[in-house]
Amino acid sequence: MPKATWMRATVLLLLIGAIIGVGFSFAVYETSEKTADANFCGSCHTMKPFVSAFEIHVHGGDNRFGFQAECNDCHLPHDGLAHYFFVKVKSSTNDIWVETFDNTDKIDWRKKIKDGNRFVYDSGCLSCHADLENKTLSNPRAFLPHRLYFSKTTTKTCADCHANAGHKHLSEFIKE
Amino acid sequence: MRKAAGLVSVFFLVILGSVSLHMAMAADSNPAAVEKPAGAPAQPAPSSHYLRYPNIAFKQKMTLAKGTGITKQAAQCIACHSQKTPEIVNDWSKSVMAHAGVSCFDCHTVSKDSPMANQKCPGVAGTDIYVSSLVSSATCEKCHPNEVKAFRQSGHARAAIQAVSQPLNQALLAHEDMNMPEFKDAVFMTGCAQCHGSQIKMDADQMPEAGSWPVHGIGTIYPDATVGNCTACHLNHQFSIAQARKPSACGTCHLGPDHPDIEIYKQSVHGMLFEARGAKWHWNSPPGGWQPMADYSAPTCATCHMSGINGLQPTHNVDLRLKWNLWAPVSNQRTGGFDTAAETFMKTGKLTAGNPLAGNPQGPEAARKDMLQVCAACHSTEFGQNYLGMADKQIGLFNKYAHAASEMIATLQKKNLMMKDPWADPAFRTYYYMWHHEGRRMRQGAAMEGPDYSHWHGVFELQQSLRILQAIYNQRIKTGKIDYNQTGGVGVGE
């Protein structure tokens, strides 16, 4: 009966593998969800002003529905799972390292927020504002300013024009 | 009998028609209700979430959907300002901006952390809304990114940076205001800045400083560290494309003894046709769709230097079709690519000299090819080639004069035979007039078909000036001294 043993072992291994795999995926998913929002990001002292400015913005819940975006919705790329996790791991490694071993007071946030499009991904914006591309002249305020963007005749990114989207009066909060 | 019945029915139809028209107009002239009351007479669609305004956008009334058109906050601006500043609102209401639903709120609100932000307007005081009377090109850029980008790559974007930073300009200003503090900024703000632009500073009260604003200049530097004033050509608050296409938009700055471009245009056959027929041309065609013969029968400044014509794309970079620099002491070909002053300032905050040889990034020959393509929209290929070929020769001739003069000045400087105050020195003055006035008239007149400027105001005076400079030079070299009784250079022959 070596054949049956071999079969049984294979099936058993596959089952165990599947359970481990599902468990691992579940853990990854849960972790990435739990580490995606302002509650988590704001648990580091450095991020407090950003969370405060976020909470008074439309994206942070100051809207009719109380809907709140998560940090990762804008600050991670949404053009594929691999890219998403790559940037997530990369930037979180950087953040943990700098927060723990470096002096975060040295960071010139005022200079950085002028360069906002480095930290905001258009694919993130568009995964929620997915309908923007389909707008027509019947909604001129959505159609007219964005037609160059969608016809790819400009290299501007979302954050180039919507510099304050996400964090209202941000530089007021990072005053020393 | 039949005829009578027909007449009666026509009569009834007319009565019915006029009654319904009258009723429609009565409904239209409803008072300026901001929000339509619920249960108002049956008009199609509008429920309480539609807003109605009088006098918006061409028609007596336009219905805009809330959220997609004009928001409630924006409506409040319009409602109050049509009382406080009726001319501005009226002007805006005729604009394409109004037609597209872009109102006060969209351009004049800024974030709280903007250096231009204030809450002086009682309508926003104490709210979360911050406004600014200044609107920089960063705002225009949000909807017109390519136009602003091309503009910032052009020499126009250097205008204010150059005016406020070049030491020679500052030295001249100090002479002109007699170094008297009570007249500080008067020369600059009533002169230079109105074409070149200023660097706008904010006072402690968060309002633009009197020494730096109001200003109409094209290269104005705004407190938010952006460069460019779109309303220099597209005057607020109509921002009209038609107005910017007319020669007067350029002629408001390109005129006078040192660059009589509007005068040259008026003398040219192009300008003559514009004067004769321009009133009937179509000025409102869309960008790239403004075409010779269909819309106009002779070019304006904008046609040749900016418009989409004969296969060329429209551009806001006015240097793109220029082969030569026609304003410097010596004319060189424009080999420098894009201008850098605006970009450098916006990135680093440094005021630099920019790129006087800014032109077409593919080089001066590509620029000339583009310009010939413009000519070829109306003329034969040979016509354009021969005309601009002869202009090239005239520019080359100017360079001979320029070299002869600058060599004399250099020799005198080396031998210490120039006066300390250049503006008192007939040698320097003559040289200055040669390139800055007479030489520019000669070169620009040649390139844009202003024969009187190419010749009588140009090369004729230039050769006279060269003789005057030569005489001064000969005397100084011969005696080794400066003769303080010599004259020369103040508008010889003007």
Cα–Cα separations (whole angstroms), residue B370 to B156, B203, B205, B285, B307 = 20, 46, 49, 22, 11
How many CA within 13 A on the CB side of residue A103? Answer: 3
Q: What does the alpha-carbon distance between residue B18 and residue B20 come to, in Å, rounded to a whole number?
A: 5
Check the CA dihedral B174-B178-B182-B183 and report its sign: negative
Residues B141, A161: C-beta atoms closer than 8 Å: yes
What does the DSSP 8-state code read for residue B5? H
Q: How many CB pairs under 8 A join A and B?
A: 40
pLDDT tops 50 at residue B84: yes
What does the DSSP 8-state code read for residue B455? I
Quote the minimal CA–CA distance from A101 to chain B in Å: 30
Tell me if chain A has a CB within 8 Å of the CB of B313: no
Residues A148, B69: C-beta atoms closer than 8 Å: no
How many CA within 13 A on the CB side of residue B399? Answer: 13
pLDDT tops 90 at residue B398: yes
The strand pairing partners of B130, in sequence order, are B110
For chain A, domain boundaries: 1-34, 38-173
Top-confidence residue, B279 or B59: B279
The residue behind tokens 């001249």 is B172
pLDDT per residue over B351-360, tens digit each? 999 999 999 9
Residues B113, A141: C-beta atoms closer than 8 Å: no
Report the pLDDT averaged over residues B160-177. Answer: 86
Angle between helices B72-84 and B86-93 (to 10 degrees): 120
3-state secondary structure of B249: helix
Residues B145, A154: C-beta atoms closer than 8 Å: yes
- In single-letter form, the type of residue at position B232 comes to A
pLDDT per residue over B42-53, tens digit each? 444 433 333 334
Q: Which of A140, A145, A148 sits opposite B69 (nearest CB)?
A: A140
Residues B68, A141: C-beta atoms closer than 8 Å: yes
Q: Do the Cβ atoms of A69 and A128 come closer than 8 Å?
A: yes
Quote the minimal CA–CA distance from B244 to chain A in Å: 21
3-state secondary structure of A50: helix
What pLDDT score does B44 carry? 42
pLDDT per residue over B451-472, tens digit each? 999 999 999 999 999 999 999 9
| β-bridge pairing B61-65 and B50-54 | antiparallel
Of A134-138, B421-425, B443-447, minimum mean pLDDT range: A134-138
Within 8 A of B136 by CB-CB distance, chain A residues are none
Q: Do the Cβ atoms of A72 and A88 come closer than 8 Å?
A: yes
What pLDDT score does B168 carry? 81
Closest by CA position to B329, among listed B431, B464, B195, B397: B431
- Taken as a whole, chain B contains a residue count of 494
Q: Best of A141, A151, A153, A154 to disrupt the B interface by mutation (most B CBs within 10 Å)?
A: A141
Of B32-46, B83-97, B138-152, B303-317, minimum mean pLDDT range: B32-46
ipTM of the complex: 0.70
What pLDDT score does B493 carry? 47
Within 8 A of A163 by CB-CB distance, chain B residues are 111
> Which residue in chain A is spatially nearest to B63 when comparing CA positions?
A138
Check the CA dihedral A70-A72-A75-A76 and report its sign: negative
Residues B113, A172: C-beta atoms closer than 8 Å: yes
The DSSP-derived string for B392-420 is HHHHHHHHHHHHHHHHHHHHHHHTT-S-S
- From first CA to last CA, the distance across chain A in angstroms is 76
> Which residue in chain B is spatially nearest to A173 when comparing CA positions?
B113
What pLDDT score does B50 carry? 37
B9 pLDDT band, cuts 50/70/90, is low
What pLDDT score does A135 carry? 86
Tell me if chain A has a CB within 8 Å of the CB of B113: yes
CATH class, A38-173 region:
mainly alpha
Report the pLDDT averaged over residues B309-328. Answer: 96
pLDDT tops 70 at residue A14: yes
Report the pLDDT averaged over residues B187-214. Answer: 94
